[in-house]
Amino acid sequence: MRLKKTFFLVMFFAFASTSIFSQDYDFDIPEEEAKIEFNGNLDAKWGLLQTQKSSPFFGLQFYDVAEKENYLSQYRLDFYLNGTYRHKQVGFFMKTFYQYAKEQALSPSFFELYGSLNFSPRLSLSIGKRLFNWGKGYAFNPVGYVNAEKDPENPDLALAGKTSVYINYNRSFTSNFLQNFSVGAVLLPPEAKINDRFASADKIAGALKFYFLLKNIDIDLMAAFKKDEPRRLGLNFSTNLRENLEIHAEFSYAQDELKYLVNDELISQHKKNGGSYLLGLRYLNQFNTTLIAEYYHNNSGLSKNEFTSYVNYLDNSLESNNPAEINSAKLNMTTTFRSKTLMQDYLYLKLSQPEPFSWLYFSISVFTIYNLADKSFLVSPQLSYKPYTNFEVLLWQFLFFGKEDTEYGSKQFRKKIEIWMRFYF
Amino acid sequence: MHKNKFSYFMIFFFISSISWAQESATNNTKGNEILKKVDENLMPVSYESYRKLINEEPDGSKKEFIFYTVKKGKDKVAMLYVSPASEKGRATLRLGDNMWLYIPNVGRPIRITSMQSVVGGVFNNADIMRLDYSVEYDAEIMEQNDSGYILDLKAKTQTVAYDKLKMWVDKKNTMVTKVECYAASGTFIKTLEFKNVKNFGDGIKRPAVIETSSPLYKGYRSVMIYSKMKLKKFPDEVFTLDYLSRLGELR
């Protein structure tokens, strides 16, 4: 009897423990909510450049090179790796850039590296290095107060962002008049120069942008301020006039904007009030040809005579053969006068045509930047070929025209031709 | 006597004009009613879906894109490129007549027009981000028989991609089967054919395939295939420029 009882007890516990363990072995597979994604591209580039030895820009850039050649070649590998992590309202974003030109250790440049928190569909916050692109212009952005400086010769090139704290509020309305409103505030701390870790809190820059979608017109109002720097106020708009025609414009007013001039071989600083502006359009015709046209006036840009004085200053520094003068001119060339739009008035025109003459996978385009003050210009035809998914070949030529003392006529190179192979992953 | 004849003629003319106008108005009203029903059957009020777009080139080779699309109401559409890698992260938004394209590298949305094509091939932006037909067009019945209607659609504004459409509608289920698109000049631009009626669940039954060809793109053919179409509600702020870079959060 006792044995029977023991047997039942053992069987009971064995059964109970089995069912407990069997419960432990059952589990639900949690749904994968967090999403980590990587993508990017590799650009392999080779270029052939015809030098312009008479140009002071060439003379200064290649001053230390003993033998100055008529043609130079350039080989580069540009590698972009982007990463995104998203989990519910939280996100982390990274855009890195590596450039290989010769055998040496590569270190990444972080074009973007920031975290974001979306409190709701209306309110979001981000902290870190982030790219902003204010303005409606394709080649130029006078209201791009927080933008990285765009290169009008390649406006689509990926650029480095800025370290910032960014908060944005966005609201939609069911109205035929005001359809959407948003306000974004950006705080930009200065570069950490104190012990390479700290920056003066006094010099934090701020910028505000209000956006309105008003009667089918995009309108932005923006302002930027920083201690000891000019205050800027801007306005831009864009709208579609027809099913194939878009127009856009930007206007920026700056108070005490700095303008640098060369007078008697000395660089002087002037303060100037006034406006920079841009007028543009994008038009598609029945043959599928797209035209982008933009006129840009740069308030702090140099006039024809001012540019000639600057070129003369570089020429004279070079002719002096004095290393101190040459280094100083070289430094000014790459800092004070490094802007891609150094002068006052430019016209940008771009025509592009996909699959011309029924050439499958090809597209052609040509753009010109015309300096209205000194009548110098750049012409750049481009041929693109995309035979396979995620692969592209680009053949790209740059031709510079103008007299020796003009902006495009005085470039280091007379002609450039580049071939790019681009792989996406 | 002559005066009487003239009076009778005027009365007859007046009455027939009124009845013709009434008939025309009735025809117009009925056309618009059918068009609204066509819209209801094609697109639920608020939904998400995946679409594969295949561009077939004259040499027979194919290029494929996959989009994640969300739509709310009659005139709000947003679309995220899921593949291929070269296009991934791009996003487009349409609010009524307004269209924008967001390219991650550029970092801001730019305005695009309905006649452009961001993916190449025969479909243009207006086809890929189509609104309800009744938002953009007024309809009139051109012909009808036992099996269907042929509607004549006229654009309400100049910013609409096609000035005129000719639409074939199946009478049995009020489903569109074919659309011909014409420019303001009368030039025939393209044909859209709606095929493979499929039950997506949630009460959504509609053509899963749209094929297009055009005399302006000889040898090219484009196909759009719908998948995973589901009813889903979205806040209005999803359909804004600020949200374009965040569309991936909805997937």
Q: Give the pLDDT mean for A74-102.
A: 93
Structure-model confidence comparison of residues A16 and A77, the more confident one:
A77
Scanning A180-199 for CB atoms below 8 A from B yields 180, 182, 184
- Out of A124, A284, A360, closest to residue B59 by CB: A360
The model's confidence at residue B86, banded by pLDDT at 50, 70 and 90, is very high
Give A12-55 pLDDT, tens digit per residue: 655 555 544 545 566 666 555 667 899 999 999 999 999 999 99
CA–CA min distance B238, chain A (Å): 7
**Using a CB-CB distance cutoff of 8 angstroms, which residues of chain A are in contact with residue B63?**
389
Scanning B152-171 for CB atoms below 8 A from A yields 158-161
What is residue A286's predicted lDDT score, i.e. its pLDDT? 83
Provide the b/e sequence for A114-129 (b: ≥16 CB within 10 Å): bebebeebbebebebb
Q: Give the pLDDT mean for A251-260.
A: 93
Using the structure block, give the residue that is written with the tokens 């101190």.
Answer: A324
What is residue A11's predicted lDDT score, i.e. its pLDDT? 63
What is residue A30's predicted lDDT score, i.e. its pLDDT? 59
Q: Is the pLDDT of residue A73 over 90?
A: yes
Q: Is the pLDDT of residue B178 over 90?
A: yes
Tell me which chain B residue has its CA closest to the CA of residue A85: B249
Q: Which of B2-6, B148-152, B237-241 has the lowest mean pLDDT?
A: B2-6
pTM of the model: 0.85
Tell me which chain A residue has its CA closest to the CA of residue B65: A389
- For an interface test with A, the pick among B115, B117, B188 (most A C-beta atoms closer than 10 Å) comes out as B115
Scanning A206-265 for CB atoms below 8 A from B yields 211, 213, 216, 218, 238-246, 248
B215–chain A Cβ distance below 8 A for any pair: no
Summary mean pLDDT of chain B: 89
Give A363-383 pLDDT, tens digit per residue: 999 999 999 999 999 999 999
What is residue A301's predicted lDDT score, i.e. its pLDDT? 94
Q: Is the pLDDT of residue B53 over 60?
A: yes
What is residue B26's predicted lDDT score, i.e. its pLDDT? 64
**Using a CB-CB distance cutoff of 8 angstroms, which residues of chain A are in contact with residue B235?**
121-122, 172
Q: Is the pLDDT of residue B98 over 70?
A: yes
The model's confidence at residue B142, banded by pLDDT at 50, 70 and 90, is very high
Give A158-178 pLDDT, tens digit per residue: 899 999 999 999 999 988 899
Give B192-211 pLDDT, tens digit per residue: 999 999 999 989 999 999 99
A168–B95 CB contact, under 8 Å: no
A390–B57 CB contact, under 8 Å: no
